Structure 1
């Protein structure tokens, strides 16, 4: 249907209208009947185009933006909105002792402002980014007060407690909608667990393990929304939402009563990449930044796919193909991962690049 609507151009509409006119009438361009039908053909073509747009907006597979939201909302799926990062901040006075700060005080790191929201321990507080999105997760370092405080010696922005998230993309929303339709969540089944856990701000993906400690137990393994291993503070936060650790199995979280749930963060494996390269017309220093960029992008893609519950394979052939894309790399003599000429297979872990060691060799 969509192809038919899009095919109804001005020329096609005009030709079909002129076919309905008897052949003994002058139908050449500039004739009376041609000039009379041309405006109608233009309007018909515009109408068909509008119908094609409406057709796209009607179905989830081709809709986007607010139209996609309305379609998936009919099935109870809502777009995840951007969320603000919650971080740990450390405050000391001029003598280096823990400092008591006031709630709602504002501090700045570069272009981001953080607000003090909760006391954790002496000199240790939760602060919330005032700008929503993953940008609140990235920077670490010294905070500057927005209002002068003569007592303050140093304020340091530390680890992420709850990662900030960007608004869910159309593609991610549509994929989650398909999962909801094809695997209906109900009463603590796998789909129900996945939906509830992934709805938590900062969770980028989840894997589930049945009865790790006998009947009635469930293991939930999470990756954060930046597709990195979550901090222990964030794991504790998710645990408190799903099944509070002080009252396990009582149904006080989102897990059904009788389910004792253990939340863990995905493990990590550091990978050292070593390559001997044969170059043509470039120096190693010229291409090293692009090699680093390409390999980090490859490892990021692997981490992004972790939630699909498939083994992750760090493949030498894929690494070499990313390097061979770079102009000036003629061939690769050898590639080692962690000192061995073998792929690395991961089940519950995600790969991180430890180091990249490139050497030029003669061909």
Structure 2
């Protein structure tokens, strides 16, 4: 709004108010007296422009976006720790029970036992919030003494750890809350309630899916993939506390639609095929996240564009999704998941 009010523009405006009978050239007394004032005014206009942007949700950031969102009861989600499945064995390779709250380490991360699933099988929570807890696999080393324990394994992720909510994610939740206001248990309510649970990346609501009074909520995790049962249960319990009396609510995980991508690429000099495959796989995962619950198909042309944008790829041919040179349809409750990337040269 104030971008035209530069130092040069302001100084010129100020000098035009001085009579032409006086010396206004650079280095003159009048010029040297007005220049510092023009510089300060230009700085003030820049700060006014910044403050103006910080007052609106679509351009606000950081603390100011949080303050804007707090007016509608929204808070930035803090980083959340990963919850993993862990299995414990004695020296006869038989599963054994271990005390709750005992601590173990893996790859410089510590995990704490928080819930028993079945004999010798527990949910452990990473003590470091964030995505780091999603990455380690293999042996767990006990920090506390556990009688009869000979071996422990860290298995799959049950609830992914997440970083603190980004400005873009908080802004999207804020706009959804403002643009789709609550109305006593409408579709927007169920979607917002599901998104309030840490670890939920998106939700899709199907009202009257099984007759009057029924609502179905389908959720994905923070990586826009089918969630673990534990996360689905958390969403179900949260909605049960908020739903209108009489509503019959079903919460289900999204179904993963595995997609295999194959093709032939022409490599630029200095690049290896493995480097291209790794970069393309990362780009595909990001694209699949953007497609989840937003489109009912995967575009072959769009994936071709993504492949061309990968550093080291100068051209491609024979691109196929699940063995076909066509788009891949997605069901109402399906989200795409990268199954395999097979590129040749």
User: TM-score, normalising length from structure 2?
Assistant: 0.91
Note if contact 1:336-1:342 (Cα within 8 Å) is conserved in structure 2.
Answer: yes
**Unaligned stretches of 5+ in structure 2?**
none
**Which runs of structure 1 show a deviation greater than 6 angstroms over 4 or more consecutive aligned residues?**
none
Q: 1:280 to 1:182 in 2, by over 3 A?
A: closer
User: Does 2:246 match 1:258?
Assistant: yes
Note if contact 2:140-2:153 (Cα within 8 Å) is conserved in structure 1.
Answer: yes
| Aligned-partner SS, 2:23 | coil
| Aligned-partner SS, 2:272 | helix
Can you list the C-alpha shifts for 1:156-187, whole angstroms capped at 9, x where unaligned? 12233333221111111112111111110221
1:290 to 257, 276, 279: 276
2:298 to 293, 301, 314: 314
| Aligned-partner SS, 2:158 | strand
1:32 to 29, 32, 35: 29
Displacement of 1:27 in angstroms is: 0.9
1:304 to 269, 287, 290: 290
C-alpha distance in 1 between matches for 2:22 and 2:246: 84
**Unaligned stretches of 5+ in structure 1?**
244-252
C-alpha distance in 1 between matches for 2:121 and 2:159: 16
Q: 1:184 to 1:87 in 2, by over 3 A?
A: same
Partner of 2:40: 43
| Aligned-partner SS, 2:293 | helix
Can you list the C-alpha shifts for 1:11-33, whole angstroms capped at 9, x where unaligned? 22221111111111111112121
Q: 1:289 to 1:217 in 2, by over 3 A?
A: same
C-alpha distance in 1 between matches for 2:189 and 2:314: 50
Displacement of 1:320 in angstroms is: 2.5
Alignment of 1:137-148 (within 5 A): 137-148=134-145
Partner of 1:249: none
Note if contact 2:100-2:113 (Cα within 8 Å) is conserved in structure 1.
Answer: yes
User: Does 2:109 match 1:112?
Assistant: yes
User: Does 2:39 match 1:11?
Assistant: no
Partner of 1:274: 262
Note if contact 2:267-2:273 (Cα within 8 Å) is conserved in structure 1.
Answer: no
C-alpha distance in 2 between matches for 1:112 and 1:328: 35
Note if contact 2:190-2:239 (Cα within 8 Å) is conserved in structure 1.
Answer: no
Can you list the C-alpha shifts for 1:213-240, whole angstroms capped at 9, x where unaligned? 2111111111001211112232233223
Note if contact 1:287-1:326 (Cα within 8 Å) is conserved in structure 2.
Answer: no
2:156 to 159, 164, 171: 159
Q: 1:122 to 1:304 in 2, by over 3 A?
A: same
Q: 1:49 to 1:302 in 2, by over 3 A?
A: same
C-alpha distance in 2 between matches for 1:230 and 1:41: 58
For these two proteins, the number of residue pairs brought into alignment is 344
User: Does 2:325 match 1:337?
Assistant: no
Partner of 1:350: 335
Displacement of 1:328 in angstroms is: 6.5
Displacement of 1:149 in angstroms is: 4.2
User: TM-score, normalising length from structure 1?
Assistant: 0.87
Can you list the C-alpha shifts for 1:47-94, whole angstroms capped at 9, x where unaligned? 222222222222222211001111121222222221122222221222
Note if contact 1:107-1:144 (Cα within 8 Å) is conserved in structure 2.
Answer: yes
Alignment of 1:41-190 (within 5 A): 41-149=38-146, 151-190=148-187
Note if contact 1:107-1:114 (Cα within 8 Å) is conserved in structure 2.
Answer: yes
Q: 1:56 to 1:220 in 2, by over 3 A?
A: same
| Aligned-partner SS, 1:307 | coil
